[in-house]
Structure 1
């Protein structure tokens, strides 16, 4: 996938690591081990975060976040110290598909700062850069490249809290690219079809369109299912926890899931439009292409009828991601819990695979 100099963190020590998804509403930890012919789940656990610890991808209260990370480590009984983390959905994270003169990966590694300056709206010395060469264009002598730029202070914030919690962050990745790994081990890859992986969390949308399993378009947006939660809270005057239950189709006090459904549909408008606009932009930049299916992950995938709303708005068949589809689940792990929360595990699994595959 991406080369490893995005984070400038040295890769060393054991290959035994956890994927640590630090979201604005939940922390998620997932660990895998390699088995003959596949992977087995070692652990998966989540911890609800207090509100406003992370806003628009920026860490607001690092002390409380460190305490929450320590609590998750204890709760999940994490034994390893190495962690793979990601940053996403922040204005300081830039992902662009660009066209460059054809060159080798080694040549681009040496010239990436110069090539990136015109595309990055920050001082080039203030960012970490990474890239992925997609392949040659039809235009002779040109190639398509995905450029990633993340402000160093954002990376340093996340690395610092993870270290304070007692872990060793060995790789910093991007949500969109972590999801590629999950797709690769769980779904059949058709070399001629575009598949859109759409991860919608509490405050971010990560979109990665793959052709033949290779990323051809990515986009991150700072919007998510908090819109549903806030709308339900306003309409029915319920707590955050009860609003979350209503989102999943559970009855609460004097409010039925049917009552909540109209609010959910109304609040979904901005999210659906953001995804649809991203698809339309991708299709406008390509010739004779379409999107064959959408695979939806994140908390929005658990909202009653949301996958159907997305399929209706985009006109594209929509599946809910099954990240554990190709993973062996040992008997000691609660399979019912895993199946219920599976779409929320996607990024953490992608990060865990990122280290196992050393990519």
Structure 2
């Protein structure tokens, strides 16, 4: 995982940084990081909406529309790099921690496929498989062991997302897991300096990614198959005629015939339903570990900007909550025109910022 100095050193070694592109169901986000004079990190960043229905449950339905959104975003935000790092939707990725006897790298390489067959619910011929030794937990002289992180990603989904950026005139250089990209962005901003157990929540339009990190290491991940659109649809069922108007009301803005007071009960119920799923995830994590208490929450994602969402989460879980800003230690030098509130971009760009830390040739 890259820290600030590791990242700066990496940028100085490579002339062309990777552009982080996070393709979500409601918007495309892009971040390009460069080192300026005095070793300051500059970020060129932006986001652009994708047409409704272009991406459904992580599957790209209208490749041309999404590619045009990527192409338009890079041009409007003046992002010049075309070698990119991509993230995959959580439904296309399986992450498992596996305890294995301690062995050499060669022995592990020879046995990992057999181990993966026991833990990955896909045919191995249909996935790209990666692994990393992450811990020596339980390592003793009598029974030396290690913990291996298995990651399997569907080849078909990788091909879909790679085809989109290729059509947009880019070169896909690295594919990452969204939860881990967000974790890298948190590390760059000093998110784990205080130690303890941190829950990283990236709340998007259709999903909430949960990554629980202990001592800077991911120990639990889950994707909740619901997000900010659940609140939007609840508002529409309450009588707001269009998706766009419901989105405005969700953010605390008024429209003709409806205002914040009218929306509050509907939003409160929809938000509580989402937070119940988060609570179930936290409970499952706590039950699976001896020390399963979460010390703080780092909150990101466009859906986290919904009216009352962050305050409701802070009240429900009674742990310190921080809105994550991927640009806290950087200077943002470019933004996509049309997003009035810089906080919206900061909330949405966590994954893209983490992707921009990757380097060509990374596994």
Q: Structure 1 residues 256 and 329 mapped into 2: Cα distance closer, same or farther (>3 Å)? A: same
Quick one: structure 1 residues 350 and 332, their matched pair in 2 at CA, closer, same or farther if it must change by over 3 Å? closer
Q: CA deviation at 1:242?
A: 1.6
The match for 2:18 is 17
1:317, distance to aligned residue in structure 2 (A):
2.3
Match of 2:84 in 1: 83
Match of 2:126 in 1: 126
Q: Deviations over 1:123-165 (max 9, x none)?
A: 1111001223220122532222221111111111111111111
Unaligned runs of 5+ in 1: 3-12
Q: Is the 8 A contact 1:197 1:294 kept in 2?
A: yes
Per the TM alignment, residue 44 of structure 1 is displaced from its structure 2 partner at its CA by 1.1
Alpha carbons 1:81, 1:166 under 8 Å: kept:
yes
Give the SS at the match of 1:85: strand
Whether the 8 Å contact between 2:77 and 2:335 is mirrored in structure 1 is no
- Within the alignment, does 1:278 sit opposite 2:242 as a pair? no
1:351 is matched with 355
Q: 1: distance between equivalents of 2:236 and 2:203?
A: 20
1:1-359 correspondence runs (5 A): 1=1, 15-35=16-36, 36-41=38-43, 43-90=44-91, 92-105=92-105, 107-138=107-138, 140=140, 141-190=144-193, 192-330=195-333, 337-355=341-359
Residue 189 (structure 1) shift:
2.6
Structure 2 unaligned residues grouped into runs of 5+: 3-13
Deviations 1:251-292 (A, max 9, x none): 111211122121111112332122111111111111134111
TM-score by length of 1: 0.89
CA 1:341–1:289 in structure 2 vs 1: closer, same or farther (change >3 Å)?
Answer: same
What is the TM-score normalised by the length of structure 2? 0.88
> Following the alignment from structure 2 to structure 1, what is the Cα–Cα distance between the partners of residues 333 and 60?
35
SS in 2 for 1:310: helix
What is the RMSD computed on CA atoms of the aligned residues? 2.4
Deviation at 1:38, TM superposition (A): 4.5
| Aligned residues of 1:56 and 1:89 also touching (Cα < 8 A) | no
Residue aligning to 2:7: none
C-alpha distance in 2 between matches for 1:60 and 1:136: 43
1:288-333 alpha-carbon deviations (Å, 9 max, x no partner): 3411100110012211211121223333222211111111234999
- With 104-113 and 57-66 compared, the bigger mean Cα shift is at 104-113
- Per mean C-alpha deviation after superposition, the further-off stretch among 199-208 and 132-141 is 132-141
Question: What is the rounded CA distance, in whole Å, between the counterparts of 2:104 and 2:340 in structure 1?
Answer: 48
Distance 1:44 1:192, change over 3 A: closer
On the 8 A contact 1:89/1:221 being kept in 2, the answer is no
Q: Distance in 2 between matches of 1:241 and 1:331?
A: 26
SS at match of 1:354: coil
1: distance between equivalents of 2:78 and 2:182? Answer: 25
CA contact (8 A) 2:45 2:335 kept: no
Supply the distance in 2 between the matched residues of 1:112 and 1:14 (Cα, whole angstroms): 35
